Every structure is written in structure tokens, then in C-alpha cells.
Amino acid sequence: MRYVLICNAGSSTLKFGLYARLSGEKVGAGEFDRIGSPQAILVYDLFGMHSEETYRQLRNHRLAIRVLLDVLTASDVAQHQISAIGHRVVYGGVHERAVRVTPAVEQAIWQARDRAPLHNPPVLACMRELKRRFPRTPQFACFDTSFFVALPEVAQTYAIDQRLARRYGIRRVGFHGLSHAAAARAASQRLHQPLAALNLVTVHLGSGCSIAAIRQGQPLDTSMGFSPLEGLVMGTRAGDIDPGALIYLLKAGMSVAELEELLDRRSGILGLSGMSADMRQIMTAAGYRVPGFPAPRRFTRQQREGARRAIGVFVYRLQKYLGAYAAVLGRVQAIVFTGAIGEHNPDLRRLVMSGLSLPGHPRVIVIAADEEGTIFREVKRLLKR
């Protein structure tokens, strides 16, 4: 049996999928969480066997890859059986379509790290560790921006001097495209209608959050733009903010590095709540029940108020985007929630949808995120060339 290994590296996570190359059957999947923390967790299913393990010294993604390969070996997957490897890459610079990884592609991903500082370095670490262990096995990079290459010009363009925009490549490219594409395809199957006949709003809610308007299978707009910072409130990212406020902070003495740290790592749910970037903990502190997540401790009044503030801003921002995208789409057949928060938090979905009056009375559909499946299909397509 020959397999294709799919890796999806986040800032502190590593998801993986193992697929039979010929049949396309998914024979294994799992996720490392809290990489770099004192208690990293690996949860996985391989060939029908479930396991959950904790690691105290999983300092980085290279070590996570080594653990993953040990797990595969223990499950009787020999090194020579891995015939191809695919990766999710948030931003590839000049590369917009899926490509085989070469030194030039690695260099482009590294050079583009300023546009995706939380994600590009970890995926490069995974690529290089796998190259060391599998020097002859082809690796492929699949980009989050690919789905949004066809965005209409009006949705791509910022209202700045266009000579400057062209010189520096300042335009909206969109992110989470692999997830939005998978969610739209799954919604089409759920509704028993061809994707080309549907208008959908897909909502990816996880540590990073984004929303996309999809008209007849093609992207019309999306909330993330030049970088993954734009749009919705996220775990630690601010989302939309007046550029004037950023100029003000720079003039007040904040350095560029400090501003980047603020917007990437100290804003969003964490900044609003003053407590946590984990929406499960925030919902629990605000008095909601989150399936599978027991209240870890008692919360102070200040923490409860911060949690309610974070939820209020998060929900309101999402409702504004939902209303805007429904308006430009016209009739909408479905609102599709995906991602860890979107899938597993029914109270949050109810908060988002309550009080909204959207054209077409769309169905609300919940889809399990399947970026790995989309990457696998891209890898198989490239292998056939």
C-alpha cells in the first residue's frame, strides 16, 4: 500500500491526514495542539485505532514531525510507503497555484513570511524535516490564496495610489481558501445541488477567522485581504481596524515590531477579554456550555465581563459581514459554518444568527473542516501530470 501524507501546520498546531494513494481512502488523521507549551497534546486515529498522548518537550514543529513519523512507524506504515507529501501554505508570495516544493519554492515561502508570520515559518520547518527524512519523496505546497485568485477586481483592489499598489503588490488576496473551497463543496453535496447553482456564505471560525461570499461556485468576496489580519475578530488578531489608529500608535512611539506583536498576538479575543484566546474558555466564562469542554475553574467578575465583551464584539463583526455578503449575493441558499469554533459551538452559532434577516431565508449548515482532503486532491492532480 502506498500513502500520501498531508500536513497542515498552524502557529502552535499540526494537523495531518494519511490517505491511500490509489483509492483516496482516508486511513488516518490527527492533530498536535499546543506545540511549544509545557503540555502539548496529540490526538489521532490510525486504521481505526484511537489514541491521545501528552508531550512535555514538544518545543517546535520539527519535533512534532519526528513524533508523527514515529507514530506512523508504530502503526506499520513504513517509510518507503509514503509516496508523496502535501502541505497547506498560508501565503506563497509569487506562487498562487499548488506546486511541487523546490528550493526556489521554499525560498519564496520564506520571503513571504512577513505576510503570514504565524504560519509560514512552521510549515517550512515541517517541509525541511520531512525532506531530511524523505529526501526522494516529492512534497507539494497548496496555497490558501489559490481559491481567491479569481476574486473580481473590485474585491481585490484597495483604494490607494494604483502605481504604488502595483509596485508593491498591495491587493487583497484572501486566505483560508482551502477551507472555504472544501466547505462550499460539502454544502453542495448536503443540499443535493450543483455548486454552480448555489449562492453561499462560508464562515471559517477557528484561531483564525474569515468569511467568504461564493456566487455559483466562484468567490465574490472574502474578509481577509493583503494579509490574514483583515476582517473578523480572531483568537489573537485584531481584524478590521482604522489605519489611522495604527498611524497614531506609531507616532506615539510604538515600534513596527511592537505594532506587529500587538495586531498578531495580543489582540482579538485575547485582547478583548484580557483572559484567553480560546473561545471555549471565553464562552464558558460568559455562562454558556461548550460541548466537551468543562469549566476549568471559577471566574472573577472582571473575567466574566471581559468574556461577554469579547463575544459581543466577535458576534457583531461577524453579523455585519454576513449581512453585507448576503446583500451583494442576493438570494443565499446556505450559511456554512466550519472550523473548530464554527463546528463545535452551537450557542455561538445561535448568537450569530439570532435577529438576522437575510434574503432567501438560507439554511444553516455545519461542515467539518477538511483542508487536508482538498490538499490531497490537489496533490493527486499534480502527481498525474
Please, what is the end-to-end C-alpha distance for the chain in angstroms? 21
DSSP β-bridge partners for residue 213: 201, 221
| CB contact at 8 A, 51 and 76 | no
Compute the chain's Rg from CA coordinates.
21
Say whether 121 sits in a helix, a strand or coil.
Answer: helix
Which positions are annotated as active-site residues?
144
User: CB-based contacts of 274: which residues, under 8 Å, 6+ apart?
Assistant: 302, 303, 306
Residue indicated by cell numbers 453535496: 189
Contact 372, 28 (CB under 8 A): no
Helix residue ranges, H only, the chain: 61-74, 103-111, 120-133, 153-156, 162-168, 177-191, 243-251, 256-265, 268-273, 279-285, 301-329, 339-344, 346-353, 371-383
DSSP 8-state class, residue 13? -
**Three-state secondary structure of 194-212:** CHHHCEEEEEEECCCEEEE
Surface-to-core class of residue 82, CB atoms within 10 Å of its CB (0-12 exposed, 13-18 middle, 19+ buried) = buried
Provide φ and ψ at 287, rounded to 5°.
100, 5
- Provide the β-strand partners of residue 50: 45
C-alpha cell at 64: 512534532
